[in-house]
A and B are shown apart, each in its own frame.
Chain A
């Protein structure tokens, strides 16, 4: 019997190679072996998707890119962020997120096992959030031109109310509520980057918040502002809201829930917890008469057990955030400038 002597091309690698982004057989294999089983039926995962017709309400559309380092951290990985981040951006408009697209930029040399883990996390998170990943794209860049994986997601949702919450809608007398402890995600990332080795004591809060938002809007359709407290943390979010609404926001520093470990890590590394990113926390600004029912609903939800009232909108102004200290003094809380930098001493 004659054996073939010329070498056959190897199609099965344990890492990403340039060919995986070629659009040819290897790309197809990647979709077939990794993406399709995780995200659903292969026919849904084309270059474009046809979505069901929406009869009433507005479409809400959002996109976000994820470049986090490290890719894996206590409480999640870049995949859980990529799904929760966009789901939350859509949900903060008071909308129900329905569909996501996902674009991967993979670096040559990335272990396929890692990619599989990230993709499976994305699928799990999407399932938790009740959204479908319906279209996607993959590109591969040469080794050294990316940090393993970059992910872009875009999301579509439907806003049923006439006017959803928005950042220009805070009014004097309103109350500020958050659904739990702040700084968890940012410090989990910093903890890994700086080798604090605190294990799960610093754990990211990354989670899709659309379920919580739905529960809140059910008991209080008139939430004035909803914001996820991502980059820049509470400081950046309140600042933007104060400016967009033309109001003074007053934060009671002692009322802001912060985990002891997060507070300790912030002290050690020299960060202000109010500026640190969250990935599973939202700020709801509501009329004072709605505050109790919204707070109770948050606390009854699994993602809001440690919810708290942290301040109020006091006045009309050109946009200012004031922090009241435990001592009764005040300071202006400014927008964080650029990258968070640790202090020298």
Chain B
């Protein structure tokens, strides 16, 4: 059965290749001549005002006002507004994307004698690392690798905590490696930069980079010029990433 509105558009349609369509048209091309569709509930004690998109039996999306969530405007990947929110805009305009890929992992167990003789050390290569969060489960604590879930622009950040530097350690560098390519974050005379009595150095860097889905990012460091006695310290050694666009 087709239900047809007064403009001849079918709102329920079962004919292959045709569209079920609700059209709201204002034919006046003058200022303030708008065309709108209002979806309204009665007040704060009522339920939600929303639109639902459905591919029957496959996927549903809802968007609208989540009355039980401080009237935020949300886009949800489900048939229930507020469940599986992909986007949430609070009434003051603050935007969250609660399911967008992002992670933070911290070195929580030290890794002794990992570099100093030009050995490249990769975050996660020794000691214990712990995830603070991993939205989408794209970070591997066993390998220290972040795998991009979708093609996009990512912000990568990281920090190294070097311990037991000595005067021979005159070269230091930290970098991200994305899809096999190195992106330098800092290079310098490691010993000169280090605190003189405790012989430690904390350096961090960030990178905005385009990653293709399935590209892998890691965080690396190396200290050169001396022997392999430089430790990787805890807490101030970390690696983070976030899909930003």
A, B assembled together? no
